[in-house]
Amino acid sequence: MKKLTHSLKVNILFAVIVAAILGAVLLVNGIALRLSERYDLHFDLTAGALYEIGGDTKAFLASLDTPVQIYVLSDEGGFSRDRYLIQAKRIIDQYPHVSDRITLEYIDYAFNPMFALNYSEFPLSHGDLIVQSGDRVRHLPGINLFYFASAADGSLSILSSRAEEALTSAIASVVSDEDVKIAFLTGNGASDNALFASLLADNNYDVHTVSLASAVLDGYDAVLLLSPTIDLSEDVIRKLETFLYNSGRYGKMLFYTSSAMQGDLPNLEMFISEWGISISNGAVFETAPERTYQFQPFYPTAMYETGKFTDMLRDPSMPFLMPLSKPMELLFTSRDGYYVEALLHFSETSGVRPSDAGEEFNADNATTWGPMPALVTSGFFARAPDGTELQSTIIVSSSTAMLDGIALQNTSLNNAEYLLNLFGELLGREDVFNIQPKSLSGRNLGITSAQASALGVVLVVIIPLAILLTGITVWLIRRYK
């Protein structure tokens, strides 16, 4: 009887302990759940904090004084089928935790037609985001959360995530009071470059595509003319001059890119020369392998001039790629109110292949050698009656291909960051976010052709030879010991 009583007491005590443990676990889970609704309790241990928003975004969100609503057009389960979708959802979910001014809601809009009617002006799709503050609305297509790479069979795969950059820029856009309007000029064989247009739009620029011949340019802050293949008429040249003069108020910008594929453009080149920049025919090549990209001499990297734009880079050691460039030179540095400055230049080991060179051309036949400018800015300065300094600016690049995906989307190059810094500074922008894309497949090995050759020698020759010699040495020692 006593044994039975003792056994019962032990069982009751055990049951109480188990119940207490279960109660404690439920209590802790309940507290953690409630805290997670208000605070971010996750910890990111990945290299580079791939699942965390960065310090620039946190500082921007801390300064918000306007309510912002984020609507994700999907249920939360729709962001769980791929590791990049999971990463994007993780980034999105942090915004309301960082700022109490932000609210986040997942909406399966296919089953909520009334929501879609409120934004009928946008081509909504599953996975898109709507960012709204008051009457200002930004539609962020889901595909804009990622960079894509095209395979040989034409299929697309996600190269990296840019969810933080896209969403932070969208929020900045809807809380900003001013729009900077940019026009891509088309016609005369000019390119509108959808990738660069998308990069600018994602960084809060109001981007348009307009006809070079018929558009009225007065309402734009900057116009972009990318490697036209047909020369501009005198009327169009006067239109550009009128745009930059801006009825004496100035404050405008022209961004012009050339290409080794262009022919003679006498009217346009004469206009550019008035701003102190001469553009010649031919193609720039590089003979130093450490200044080329993937062993291609006509894909040289440019060197940074010292100055504020270089100082603004987070990593000036990363190169700036300038493929298929046309040679340029500065005609003067200052004259009659014009001030010309080279921002990037090709090295002294670069040369120019003339446009009429034959197939047997080699570097020894070049008659023009570097250094030579690669990216140039020229400003015209004037003073208003009240003493205010006025300025219109043109930026001239020797390469249009510097805006291709191989350059803008490569996280081992500085093309995107440098150009956004340049545009932001010259157009007076303070809300441009240069947030690095995040790759979940590991870091890209950003090396030059010379470094790739040296690495190949080490991996293919030196290391195998060292292993072979070590094996032979060990065998000899054991054989004759």
Residue 444: predicted pLDDT: 47
Q: How far apart are CA 293 and CA 415, in angstroms?
A: 14
Q: How far apart are CA 221 and CA 184, in angstroms?
A: 12
Q: What is the DSSP letter of 188?
A: T
CATH code at 179-426 = 3.40.50.880
Residue 425, burial from CB neighbour count under 10 angstroms (0-12, 13-18, 19+): middle
Q: Are 184 and 222 in contact (CB under 8 A)?
A: no
Q: How far apart are CA 35 and CA 295, in angstroms?
A: 54
Which of helix, strand or coil describes residue 407? Answer: helix
From the list 296, 312, 276, the residue with the least C-alpha distance to 423 is 312
Task: Please list, residue by residue across 22-45, b when 16 or more beta carbons sit within 10 angstroms of its beta carbon and e when fewer do.
Answer: eeeeeeeeeeeeeeeeeebeeeee
Which of helix, strand or coil describes residue 146? Answer: strand
Q: Are 426 and 343 in contact (CB under 8 A)?
A: no
Q: How far apart are CA 343 and CA 352, in angstroms?
A: 20
Q: How far apart are CA 319 and CA 291, in angstroms?
A: 9
Residue 272: predicted pLDDT: 97
Residues 6+ apart with CB under 8 A from 136: 173, 174, 175
Domain locations along the chain: 13-42, 55-144, 179-426
From the list 370, 365, 364, the residue with the least C-alpha distance to 351 is 370
Q: What is the DSSP letter of 231?
A: P
Whose structure tokens read 């980034």? 91
Check whether domain 55-144 has CATH 3.40.30.10, yes or no: yes
Task: Please list, residue by residue across 192-201, b when 16 or more beta carbons sit within 10 angstroms of its beta carbon and e when fewer do.
Answer: bbeebbbbbb
Which of helix, strand or coil describes residue 325? Answer: coil
Q: Per residue of the chain (481 residues), give pLDDT as tens.
A: 555 565 666 667 666 776 777 777 677 666 655 655 555 545 444 545 577 888 888 988 998 989 999 999 988 887 777 788 888 899 999 999 999 999 999 988 777 778 888 888 888 888 899 999 988 898 888 888 887 766 666 666 777 788 888 898 889 888 887 778 999 999 999 988 888 998 888 788 889 999 998 888 989 999 999 999 999 999 999 999 999 999 999 999 999 999 999 989 999 999 999 999 999 999 999 999 989 988 899 999 999 998 888 888 888 999 999 999 999 999 999 999 999 999 999 999 999 999 888 778 888 888 899 899 999 999 999 888 888 889 999 999 999 999 998 898 887 899 998 999 999 899 987 666 666 667 666 544 445 556 666 767 777 778 888 887 887 877 777 777 6
The pTM score is 0.73
Kindly compute the dihedral angle of the four CA atoms of residues 359, 363, 368, 372, in this order, to the nearest 10 degrees. Answer: 110
Residues 6+ apart with CB under 8 A from 132: 68, 69, 71, 138, 174
